[in-house]
Structure 1
Amino acid sequence: MQALEKRLKREVLQNGKVEILASSSWCVPVQSIDVTYQPVKRLKMDLLMKMTLLTFQQAEIANADELSELLLVEELFIQDLLRNLTGTGLIEKGEMYYHLTSKGMMQLENGIYEEEQEQETQQLLYSACHEVFLPVDIDQMDEYDELPDLFRYASEEPDGSLTFVEEELIEVLQNSREPEEEGEEQTVITEILSKETQQINDIPCLEFILYDRDKDLLFARVWNTLLSQWDDKLEKQLVEKEVVKWREYYLKA
């Protein structure tokens, strides 16, 4: 941490008109949350599937043999297709005939076939100080022998009190996935199956209170060790809350 602080001081002092009035270190709490979700592969519906669904929508079909004769397609292909459509919930068989489910009608109308993939679990990191999910992995955090005190404006919320709407979690998870190549297939997240808050991680930050003599400007720089970058969100918080106090304390006549 000392080596990092020295490097950052050299960086902020590169502008010879700026001086460091004070420096300190503290931790921001970051909540880890394990989210289990259902990904779905979406692909353009092929012609045979579309014709099959249209046939069930418009005609009374009791078995694969009838459909095979109507569509002039090998019965083995039809049997496999019926198993697939039944298993994915697009069709079901009543007392006598097959018919489309509401899911099947919706996918036929959109021309998009959705195929559920294996469930996945991902850990997300939420910072109440930033009011956002951080786009990093906790494994990226360096280990420190000693941690400084908690950030003076850190949230006092107890562990487990955070709540998130499903749409917000889906958006964060979707944005964190590797971008796919353009094509007819796309994997999307449709449902959050469970979410479980884990531990709170203390993330060290280095704070510098700076003064630009030429501009008569007081400002802060905060280095976030998890993000490995200057944290403008925390800098803005400090300036909004403390700039008047800094001027009175550090620049008094």
Structure 2
Amino acid sequence: MGKYKKKGKTPQAQDGDVRAKKHLGQHFLTDESVAQDIAETLSYKGYNKVLEIGPGMGVLTKYLLKQDAEVHVIEIDTESVTYLQEHYPQLEDRIHQYDFLKYDLGTVFRDEAFAVIGNFPYNISTQIVFKVLELKHQIPEFSGMFQKEVAKRICEKEGNKTYGILSVLVQAFYEAEYLFTVPPSVFNPPPKVDSGVLRLTRKEDFSLPCDEKLFFRVVKTAFQQRRKTLRNSLKSFDLPDNLREDIIFGKRPEQLGFREFIDLTLKIQPYAISNQQ
């Protein structure tokens, strides 16, 4: 995918706009056409509720509200919350002033399905993905804007240097698509790097045939020493020598796709369970 081509003029900041706060990692999207295209990345299939993270001044929110869905927003910035209450009264009681990473979303959605979307702050974007993985049973679709490098990494396939923990864990449960690149000029203030928009669509069968917690542990441990073979990087599992002679242990983590990591976890699982007893 190439650079995003602007379709219209970028609005200038006006009096009464929310001031971007560096400590919150805020870079407000100002290009209407980009916002509209991000809103249209969701399919709205199998759910009718959407949660936008960090709406700021609502440039993306306005296009979400045009869809046939119940839109909720979660925003930690008091100034942004006040702005949203004044300019988007149709949100009513669906503006949640909380930290997404710490908030129990069960109080809002209970066991209902909902999509997650947003122009995510770079400084917490990977943590947002990890929380989405925790809530995957409720989140069939996830899309939004990341630092380009992070978005590419999430969607990367095995055999590449940027392939890593996030790539494996996300792709085990979701189909990941890198959609388009967005330049710094469409933000206020402009970031120093390009951004990338991606979409994650949960697989029809997203259950693993192995222990999920062990799968996460195996993947994370393997990539902590990514230049070493799995025979060396997984020493902390205290596996028997005959298992460690399996051909898969002679590979490096970036050579394994998520299916091979599942196979690896299945090989380790009997020994990991016995060691816990």
TM-score range, shorter chain: under 0.3
TM-score by length of 2: 0.17
Identify, as 1 or 2, the structure richer in helix: 2
TM-score, normalization by structure 1: 0.18
- Relative contact order, CA 8 A, sep 6+: which one is greater? 1
Larger Rg: 1
**Bigger strand share:** 1
